[in-house]
Structure 1
């Protein structure tokens, strides 16, 4: 089973996908959010699907929204693959590097990504997203950390490198927080259906040409370690998203051109699906 949200922005309906069928979850929840996840929502959705729910007959024609509504926080781990750190010109970090994205960066897996005014260095980053399922604070060890995961999703940590580095003032978030800079999904896949999060192939392409092709086994800090580590400094709440870092093969390496209007990014992770976005220029509303 996968959890999805289908419909236009602000009007998404919660859906459970089982095989090729889509089931309407509005009988058990108004949305897929932190409250739903904290209250055994995934187990309840499974039970409801088995008991019988109405199918969403027009699912194929509906926009795919982000699979988690209104995340309270989007926490990101920088340079968590050694080869990516090297291509950025830095030594591998000795502790996880934390930065934040504004939650309103999160959009659907196939929504357009908007190039902000003045941007010259827009970059792609395929990442494994962890969705927190229950409150995590001061965990005793990494061994129990995965118990706090609701599921996983594909994330594209879009970045504007000039904003991130040259305009930063020492922090990275200016280059990470532009609207639409975090396509998420297409689905939230429950943790028990994914298995080991350190054995997933992840890939990206631009205009059909491969950019990244790696595996989460190459992470410097594992998903479990990241959750445990973060819990020593902040409280992780249900519905929070953790972007766990990107492998080598991004534009900041100098090996590839930065993104331009009309380019298309394709992002995928084994067991979690694929997403695709077109780059469009900002238009004043």
Structure 2
């Protein structure tokens, strides 16, 4: 299933996309795509519904973030072998883990703001993993059982803040609008192999990133298990799993976002995003 949230910021309602591309309202079925609504039992009940029995939503509605109530937004750094090579970094001996502020989360088509005093705002297409069940000390073999589904993420980064401002990566990762997620949460039953997905990103029509989750150093199951050894994962938590090569920092010379740019990105089976870059 392709589940989503639609409506004005702060007033989103849950919905699903039917086979004809029509949004169907899940209002009254679940309160939101959050908490226990993301559990396996809840998703099975939604899957059993006849979509034509649900109210159709008028076309042109805004897509909000595809999950609500995320307590944690976790990110994995240098998790693609070809991206590590692009940046001149060594492949890490275990996953590099950092957090992004949940206040950075926006919808897939919302504007991206360049922060004040920013000179190096960059893009990163990433596969997002959305947790559906509480996970603590889970094994790699059982890890995917705790996943509700997957989504597209643009893990925007301000490289000056991230690298040159005497702090951890979170300074350059948690700015407002730096985490567009969606447009859909695609349930894991529909996406049977998260390690075989093509992914791409363009700025103003120029293709910068053209990669695949096949080149991940650490796969989704390993990452869910790994993170759960350090902290409990809860329904709605998001793990952004790293980016393939082609980021602005890796261009020669580097290329960074400017107001007026249009970013387009997508992952096979998960849909596409588009953002207008504006001054913050």
TM-score (norm 2): 0.96
2:156 counterpart residue number: 158
Once residues 82 and 126 of structure 2 are traced to their aligned partners in structure 1, the CA distance between those partners, rounded to angstroms, is: 14
2:13 counterpart residue number: 13
Deviation at residue 53 of structure 1 after TM alignment: 1.8
Once residues 200 and 13 of structure 1 are traced to their aligned partners in structure 2, the CA distance between those partners, rounded to angstroms, is: 29
Alpha carbons 1:108, 1:185 under 8 Å: kept: yes
Once residues 270 and 51 of structure 1 are traced to their aligned partners in structure 2, the CA distance between those partners, rounded to angstroms, is: 26
1:128 counterpart residue number: 127
Query: Where do 5+ consecutive residues of structure 2 fail to align?
Result: none
Aligned length: 278
Once residues 67 and 280 of structure 1 are traced to their aligned partners in structure 2, the CA distance between those partners, rounded to angstroms, is: 22
Superimposed CA distance per residue, residues 209-260 of structure 1 (whole angstroms, 9 cap, x where no aligned partner): 0001111010000000001111111111011000000011001113341111
SS in 2 for 1:61: coil
SS in 1 for 2:211: strand
Is residue 2:224 matched to residue 1:227? yes
Query: Where do 5+ consecutive residues of structure 1 fail to align?
Result: none
Once residues 239 and 49 of structure 1 are traced to their aligned partners in structure 2, the CA distance between those partners, rounded to angstroms, is: 25
Once residues 98 and 208 of structure 1 are traced to their aligned partners in structure 2, the CA distance between those partners, rounded to angstroms, is: 32
SS in 1 for 2:243: coil
1:268 counterpart residue number: 266
Superimposed CA distance per residue, residues 70-126 of structure 1 (whole angstroms, 9 cap, x where no aligned partner): 211100000000111122221111100000001111100000000110000000000
Once residues 237 and 62 of structure 2 are traced to their aligned partners in structure 1, the CA distance between those partners, rounded to angstroms, is: 23
Within-5 A mapping of 1:19-168 = 19=19, 20-38=21-39, 40-49=41-50, 52-56=53-57, 58=58, 60-139=59-138, 141-168=139-166
Root-mean-square deviation (Å) = 1.2
Bigger Cα displacement from structure 2, 90-99 vs 12-21: 12-21
Runs of 4+ in 1 over 4 A off after TM superposition: none
Superimposed CA distance per residue, residues 7-28 of structure 1 (whole angstroms, 9 cap, x where no aligned partner): 1101111111111222111121
1:179 counterpart residue number: 176
2:245 counterpart residue number: 248
Is residue 2:207 matched to residue 1:195? no
Bigger Cα displacement from structure 2, 17-26 vs 230-239: 17-26
Alpha carbons 1:23, 1:49 under 8 Å: kept: no
Alpha carbons 1:162, 1:175 under 8 Å: kept: yes
Superimposed CA distance per residue, residues 238-284 of structure 1 (whole angstroms, 9 cap, x where no aligned partner): 110000000110011133411111111111000000001011001xx
